[in-house]
Amino acid sequence: MSDPTRARRASSFGSRAAAYAEHRPDYPRAAIEWGLSGATGTPRRVLDLGAGTGKLTRGLTDLGLDVTAVEPDPEMRAELARRVPSATALAGRAERIPVPDAEVDAVFVGQAFHWFDVPAAMTEIGRVLRPGGVLVPMWNYEDESVPWVAEFTELGRDGARKPASTDDLREVAHPAFEPFDQERFHHVQRRTAETLLETIATYSLVIVSSPAESAALLARLRDFLAANPATANGEFDLPLVTWGLRARRR
């Protein structure tokens, strides 16, 4: 992918901010608690970086944490402020975080770490984290160990491609951080065929594709869901896997 295309995809989500907030899955509490447990001491002040519409922010605030959410897109940030008013929502980027040095105990990143300039972002994250604090990138993926889910994601591969391998990102090294740990958590999202298609329509490659290409992709997926016994009749549980990485600040 060329850099202009990547930049266009990275900045595409604001045009679907309301749909993103409505249809993207949240993150399991067990995954969030696992991330927090990597810090020394008890984390209280947490940064959600690249926070989008607050899908992860809400999970952090539900634990009673003092949460600052940083998001560059104004439309996404407006949804975040509306849906998670207890968090402090700030404009900013991973490579330039509007937070003082050593201000937070943990930095979480939901579904966004692969969009960062990772070396520059980790330097900046290291600046705002206290020693012993923890960096926790997370991703929700469809659980392709379930046969119909694997078939569905393969059929829509152009629009539903995984952004990056967690195995690849786990190998990222930075002198400010200890090596990444990795863990996975099973998760589900209650969906119908139409709400699952709405979720797919918030993927960056679908957003930036031509209307004809997006319509053709969604039509193929709609036909599959209508013919698949697990998804053809009303609501169903979409099996997900939440992948988490965790690295402690030296």
Query: Which is nearest to 156 in space by CA: 116, 229, 209?
Result: 209
154-166: pLDDT as tens digits: 998 754 445 556 6
pLDDT (tens digit per residue) in 204-222: 878 888 999 999 999 999 9
| Best mean pLDDT range from 5-14, 45-54, 166-175 | 45-54
Can you tell me whether residue 103 is helix, strand or coil?
coil
Mean pLDDT (the chain, rounded): 92
**What's the whole-number mean pLDDT along residues 70-86?**
97
**154-199: per-residue pLDDT in tens?**
998 754 445 556 677 878 999 999 999 999 999 999 999 999 999 9
- Going by their DSSP bridges, the two strands 181-191 and 236-248 should be labelled as antiparallel
Query: Can you tell me the mean pLDDT for 30-48?
Result: 98
Q: Phi, psi at residue 228, to the nearest 5°?
A: -85, 120
Domain harbouring 152, CATH code: 3.40.50.150
Provide the whole-model pTM.
Answer: 0.91
Residues 236/142, Cβ–Cβ less than 8 Å: no
Taking alpha carbons only, the member of 61, 49, 58 closest to residue 133 is: 49
The stretch 99-121 carries a mean pLDDT of 96
Give the range of the structural domain holding residue 90, as residue numbers without chain letter.
3-248
Helix (H, G, I), strand (E, B) or coil at 34: helix
The confidence score (pLDDT) of residue 1 equals 39
How many distinct structural domains can be found in the chain?
A: 1
pLDDT, position 157:
74
Which among 95, 134, 92 has a CA at the least distance from the CA of 118? Answer: 95
